[in-house]
Structure 1
């Protein structure tokens, strides 16, 4: 009876979950209206004439509906290259549609401005201002001549363009005086107000002056509508609910039937840019052309009423789509429930395994007999942290799939690590990997390695916390950034709790679960995108995208990424991480022998291969999704400028209710998986390489467990504090990871390489080689040494370190006569081990005979 009840409850829970998953998120603008608005802009660009075409194309570009704009206006340029002033509008569109050729079009517009007797000077100055170019920088002498001359349209637009330069306060005050002065010509006031609306930057006092001036102007006058628009768009945050702003918005709404095309277009843009969902009916009324305009007095030279009203409809379509883009999406209660249940489960796991740890060996190595498949999945989850989970899709969005070609080198990685590194580690059953360095090269090298490792892992954990919170949690959950510290403390606190309770067993167990969640989240994303497009082929790119740059095959340290660079960097990273990182070596030593350790590494590589391919596909999927549905991007966001935020944003807006929470839990899983491994391995190194070295007190097993738990707590708190400093590092996610997290990866492996593979390596030469490797890594990362790209930090710092250590060791032995080489120390250590730990006198005798 009870089992049947449990089955029924479980089935009911799944039915409820999938019912929630089938729900759609509410939207201010419905799909049908959105589709019609996009079609209106497309038709305006294709079928209308001249400036209506320009406006429609610019609206498309500003909304990221870029399809067809470049092709259409290249044809317009070929056809109308000599037509004034329309050619200026054509060049302005092309400067925005073709970033690679932007400078050439800017120069064409600039030449039109510099032609004192040309017909296009005013339009050229206006276009340069709209494009964000400063005439004060492009043509300083001519600009000075204009702004010291008569106040006319050329004067206003030239002055506006100088707001893009360094000294803007004086120009803004001049424009403000022109816009607010009722004695000035109406057209001059209109143009000045339009410039202020476009740029903003008001003080609280200036904003109130603009708002009140707009309200006091005669209703429907051209200066009034632009002053009101400027007041609405640039209202200070503290005045968003003020009575005066309410008056401004009402005054704009009342003008939706004004007999002026310019007024109607400005109202549509203002309400779309800074309005609220309540303004949608006014925008729809403009879009539906409920009160058509007559063109006689409005647009001299145009004899088609359709063209005049098409301009208004295009502006209304833009306003509707802008309002759509400004909608805020949030997670449903079902999403929060999934995340909360997951976090509670992690705490439960820690409590369960805390009862099974009886000694330090249980805590740090899981007793030394853990399942190799489980340990392999744990190693994968550790190395593929939330940094990778978030940065890989962003990397492929912005730079293409080149970085993922690195998986082709995995067979070579498996062979080198499995047959050259793992057997050497398994010969020495140590708790800390850095005991190997002391055996072969002395205490100083072990201490240096400990410093490298701790620096690496503290920076790594701090970066995980920072990026997980700032890039994922704030974006997915829509939490106010002021709660960042509280969220970071909560994330780290839960991780510390279950890690310090359960030790490596808890880490491995949760890593296995989290591996499944990670892969499941990626697969769910691919399924949802495929369903949205109707098929896999519909979103998979059929050609190399232009913004990815040129595909290059060879190895070039001065290129950010080539196929050769990706292969080399991937090989060096896995070699260095597997051959020097306590987190990797710790998992090898947690298995029974070299064969099972090799199996562990193979499972890790295979799983990483699958998930990297999945994450690469996720990057392509979200790129296609937001390219096709740019209304989910906030104003000002594009797929290239906000590449790192696309995957977290898709989790919030693209996945069904309930599934969003599951994938969000996957990202938390990735973060906590890596943090838990970092806590365990870092506290292990501190305990074995620092505390036990400098303190000789023995502890009972119970006190040992309390000590290591307290140590893990200290490590977690320190990493949390360090995360507050990561925001100072510049670059996108992938660059930050390489600069900060990978800074010590190669230098650390330099020490192990010399200790394991260079028989004549000496301690002091290795010490200098390690420092030299760090120095070159820092020089490349933060000072662009020799123009070497940051993604080449790993191979260059490894090569420099190994070469420097080898040469210095050779000179140390041959010229300085140093006999304390790796080969000699390793041989003597083997002799000591033959006597056993308890045979003190034999060890002493041997020490005398060997001169130690």
Structure 2
């Protein structure tokens, strides 16, 4: 046994220490009754108030995730007051934020930009403020106007234009020094100082030394200054790191809380917003008091039980309602104790399985192919678990939420996939009882093509395993298990994940991999099914959470095959067909499982079981996406600030595991995600070790190893492959896109180029090694060009069809030229005929 028991204990206790550190209580002062009261307050203000008070209430609803009929209400406002400055800016601002699609949002942003460009406009200041708040990069859209304003008088228009000009600079690493420098000048008036402080608090970060200066300015600002509360609010919200426990912050908080009974509604509103963003449970009674209008300063127009508030009182109440809802969004959710017990028992169980099967491996064939006589149903489930992986388990629900069910239409291609793979590819592999699929390439095309295929395969699987670790840890483990997303924590968690997988894989070989894959398939599908059941119980029926129509944020439904469209029905069918055929016909992990069965019939059965299980899993995960989307649309309080179901689709399933599932079930589904990750990692470790051993080490070793050393060498290879994969996972974060896009860009980059080699070797009789080599290289060049440079406008999800077509055409043309013009007679058909003659003589 390669992995010693102390190493097992090290991984186990390392994970246990992470558990104890991450296990915290979930606390929230906001009950369902108070939440409903806050919603009704916003609705009441939105219904009965006018102009900017109404705008504030509308924005609070949008920011809280309860857009409801806000867009429709403000369409009517636009009809009535669309030409009334400056209120029209507020109307367009609300419509832009509540728009159901990007084109509608852009329509209203253009109106605001036009108002900003008008030098004689009555609402130019409001337009500049709105563009700043909405994050529009105005310096790029109106450079002449911005330059002219920033060179002119330092008034309100200057402050808001300066703020707006910082949008988009450095994609988040913004230089806020101009605003901070303005706050420190002694010549500014109190109005612009207030506006600059208000702009600065939207920054989100400020250096420690600068924060100390800001805090000092806030405390020293005269009490009667309109800017004081905004300076206090900015300092309170921007405090982080070592400033959180400083005496300065304690004093700022004390002075800020004194403003809860201030006569100015602006002071009370700003104080409430600060508490909502950075306050704690101690502040909740203050916000509740403001919500219910218990202060003695503002007297409503009618009784407290009436439907109408005075404008000032309404603005304060609406702000307090939003602050309460914002405070609830800041709540941290953690797994409960019993959830951790389930997860830990699961991980320990995997290591026990590896140890048990280590006793049954007598030789290298037992380790790599399970003896060649494994149960086809078990192997089929293993193949399903391998091909699905945690990447699909996490990305499919997010893809459904963000883009709709188009990608899932690809399952309609499964019958054709089964026919092509089962009757055209599998028979060719089963004729040659080889350990590595790439021996076939050498037989048909020579050593150079075998080495190119090995390079493609290892690149594919190393990137695949690295992506599994990265996405599982950064998307699921960090959010579900409640760890901070620091680099050290990510590495430590990744180490534990790959460590457990290495232990049971290196001990048990393919038998352990297949056995644990069967268990993990059940856990994975069970977790998805439990999610659907829980949401159905919450809504009272299965059909209640299904959307009644095509949702606007899914975009337009397209049917044909269009390379320049992200996804259509035709694209999904083509992409699914190519992926399954290419993976089954060239990937050692698939071919290894075909060869692990007893005969051709069993191999076909294995692939059929894999497809059936994949169909069930994809259907379940698609329904999981719809169920989770419906749940968060009904419960936006569980979304973090500035999150929505459309913009943060990939994190909703992991989030639901924490907030929507009962204790114990959360742990089971979390274990399911770990199961899917480790299932694929274990298969990847086994397959890559097999290829390196059979295609590289055995091929080029100078003298044969003794049989007793072969098994130890394979286990050591699995360990080294796992460590290299761990390091590679740290670099995947540089790839842009949602989870599904990242998977296609990174994981599927080499799928088509690898299959090009097998297609040429199996089906093109005049193919030559030089021609196929050119086709393979050309295919990977096309894949990279589409994935990272969007060559010819081809969308990222069309990588595989484009790379496959380019590789086959280039390979066939190059082979034809090689044979007809260069006189090369080393073709596939000639090599096979020569081998046949040699075998018969």
TM-score normalized by structure 2? 0.92
Q: CA deviation at 1:134?
A: 5.1
Aligned twin of 2:71: 70
- Does residue 506 of the first structure (1) align with residue 495 of the second (2)? no
Residue deviations 1:251-282 (CA, integer Å, cap 9, x gap): 12121111111111111111001111211111
Aligned twin of 2:58: 57
- Asked whether the equivalents of residues 460 and 749 of structure 2 are also in contact (C-alpha less than 8 Å), the reply is yes
Distance, in Å, in 2 between the alignment partners of 1:114 and 1:366 is: 72
Which residue, 274, 281, 290 being the options, matches 1:270?
274
Q: CA deviation at 1:118?
A: 3.6
- Asked whether the equivalents of residues 511 and 673 of structure 1 are also in contact (C-alpha less than 8 Å), the reply is yes
Any unmatched runs of 5+ in structure 2?
1-23, 302-307
Question: CA 1:600–1:105 in 2, change beyond 3 Å: closer, same or farther?
Answer: same
Aligned twin of 2:435: 431
Distance, in Å, in 2 between the alignment partners of 1:333 and 1:107 is: 52
Q: CA deviation at 1:201?
A: 4.8
Question: CA 1:249–1:595 in 2, change beyond 3 Å: closer, same or farther?
Answer: same
Aligned twin of 1:160: 163
Distance, in Å, in 2 between the alignment partners of 1:152 and 1:818 is: 79
Question: CA 1:717–1:152 in 2, change beyond 3 Å: closer, same or farther?
Answer: closer
- Does residue 711 of the first structure (1) align with residue 711 of the second (2)? no
Distance, in Å, in 2 between the alignment partners of 1:158 and 1:690 is: 63
Question: CA 1:132–1:729 in 2, change beyond 3 Å: closer, same or farther?
Answer: closer
Distance, in Å, in 2 between the alignment partners of 1:512 and 1:110 is: 58
Equivalent residue runs for 1:609-628 within 5 Å: 609-628=615-634
Bigger shift: residues 559-568 or 75-84: 75-84
Q: CA deviation at 1:629?
A: 1.1
Which residue, 690, 701, 706 being the options, matches 2:696?
690
Q: CA deviation at 1:217?
A: 3.4
Q: CA deviation at 1:700?
A: 3.7
Q: CA deviation at 1:206?
A: 3.1
- Asked whether the equivalents of residues 25 and 334 of structure 2 are also in contact (C-alpha less than 8 Å), the reply is no
Secondary structure at the aligned position of 2:245 is classed as coil
Distance, in Å, in 2 between the alignment partners of 1:657 and 1:90 is: 45
Secondary structure at the aligned position of 2:704 is classed as coil
- Asked whether the equivalents of residues 453 and 748 of structure 1 are also in contact (C-alpha less than 8 Å), the reply is yes
- Asked whether the equivalents of residues 261 and 297 of structure 2 are also in contact (C-alpha less than 8 Å), the reply is no
Larger C-alpha radius of gyration, 1 or 2? 1
Residue deviations 1:164-223 (CA, integer Å, cap 9, x gap): 364855631453136xx4x75443333332222333553333322332232233446422
Equivalent residue runs for 1:232-247 within 5 Å: 232-247=236-251
Aligned twin of 1:171: 178
Distance, in Å, in 2 between the alignment partners of 1:125 and 1:804 is: 55
Secondary structure at the aligned position of 2:56 is classed as helix
Equivalent residue runs for 1:124-143 within 5 Å: 124-133=127-136, 135-143=138-146
Residue deviations 1:341-385 (CA, integer Å, cap 9, x gap): 001000000011111111111111111110000000000000001
Distance, in Å, in 1 between the alignment partners of 2:502 and 2:824 is: 46
Bigger shift: residues 398-407 or 728-737: 728-737
Q: CA deviation at 1:235?
A: 1.1
Aligned twin of 2:497: 491
Q: CA deviation at 1:151?
A: 4.0
Q: CA deviation at 1:615?
A: 0.5
Which residue, 353, 358, 382 being the options, matches 2:362?
358
Equivalent residue runs for 1:377-776 within 5 Å: 377-481=381-485, 482-776=488-782
Q: CA deviation at 1:691?
A: 0.8
Bigger shift: residues 213-222 or 70-79: 213-222
Secondary structure at the aligned position of 1:128 is classed as helix
- Does residue 806 of the first structure (1) align with residue 809 of the second (2)? no
- Asked whether the equivalents of residues 200 and 230 of structure 1 are also in contact (C-alpha less than 8 Å), the reply is no
Q: CA deviation at 1:436?
A: 0.8
Residue deviations 1:772-814 (CA, integer Å, cap 9, x gap): 1111111111111111111111111111111222222222222
Question: CA 1:233–1:831 in 2, change beyond 3 Å: closer, same or farther?
Answer: same
Q: CA deviation at 1:529?
A: 1.5
Q: CA deviation at 1:100?
A: 2.3
Distance, in Å, in 1 between the alignment partners of 2:142 and 2:743 is: 41
For this pair of structures, how many residues does the alignment match?
A: 804
Q: CA deviation at 1:712?
A: 1.2
Which residue, 786, 796, 800 being the options, matches 2:802?
796
Question: CA 1:444–1:542 in 2, change beyond 3 Å: closer, same or farther?
Answer: same
Distance, in Å, in 1 between the alignment partners of 2:405 and 2:695 is: 41
Q: CA deviation at 1:658?
A: 1.2
Distance, in Å, in 1 between the alignment partners of 2:168 and 2:359 is: 66
- Does residue 313 of the first structure (1) align with residue 314 of the second (2)? no
Aligned twin of 2:230: 226
Aligned twin of 2:46: 45
- Asked whether the equivalents of residues 402 and 646 of structure 2 are also in contact (C-alpha less than 8 Å), the reply is yes
- Asked whether the equivalents of residues 24 and 657 of structure 1 are also in contact (C-alpha less than 8 Å), the reply is no
Distance, in Å, in 1 between the alignment partners of 2:724 and 2:145 is: 58
Residue deviations 1:76-120 (CA, integer Å, cap 9, x gap): 000111223221211111121124223332332333344444432
Bigger shift: residues 609-618 or 80-89: 80-89
- Does residue 281 of the first structure (1) align with residue 282 of the second (2)? no
Any unmatched runs of 5+ in structure 1?
1-22, 298-303, 835-845, 847-852
Question: CA 1:51–1:707 in 2, change beyond 3 Å: closer, same or farther?
Answer: same
Aligned twin of 1:837: none
Q: CA deviation at 1:242?
A: 1.3
Residue deviations 1:267-308 (CA, integer Å, cap 9, x gap): 1111001111211111111111001544799xxxxxx85222
Which residue, 119, 122, 134 being the options, matches 1:119?
122
- Asked whether the equivalents of residues 406 and 568 of structure 2 are also in contact (C-alpha less than 8 Å), the reply is yes
Pairwise CA RMSD of aligned residues?
2.1
- Does residue 780 of the first structure (1) align with residue 786 of the second (2)? yes
Aligned twin of 1:17: none
Question: CA 1:32–1:113 in 2, change beyond 3 Å: closer, same or farther?
Answer: same
- Asked whether the equivalents of residues 475 and 654 of structure 2 are also in contact (C-alpha less than 8 Å), the reply is yes
Bigger shift: residues 437-446 or 152-161: 152-161
Which residue, 824, 828, 832 being the options, matches 1:822?
828
- Does residue 100 of the first structure (1) align with residue 103 of the second (2)? yes
Distance, in Å, in 2 between the alignment partners of 1:277 and 1:535 is: 36
Distance, in Å, in 1 between the alignment partners of 2:726 and 2:105 is: 44
- Asked whether the equivalents of residues 86 and 123 of structure 2 are also in contact (C-alpha less than 8 Å), the reply is yes
Q: CA deviation at 1:632?
A: 1.0
- Asked whether the equivalents of residues 292 and 309 of structure 1 are also in contact (C-alpha less than 8 Å), the reply is no
TM-score normalized by structure 1? 0.91
Distance, in Å, in 2 between the alignment partners of 1:141 and 1:772 is: 46
Question: CA 1:595–1:199 in 2, change beyond 3 Å: closer, same or farther?
Answer: same
Question: CA 1:148–1:710 in 2, change beyond 3 Å: closer, same or farther?
Answer: closer
Question: CA 1:24–1:550 in 2, change beyond 3 Å: closer, same or farther?
Answer: farther
- Asked whether the equivalents of residues 426 and 593 of structure 1 are also in contact (C-alpha less than 8 Å), the reply is yes
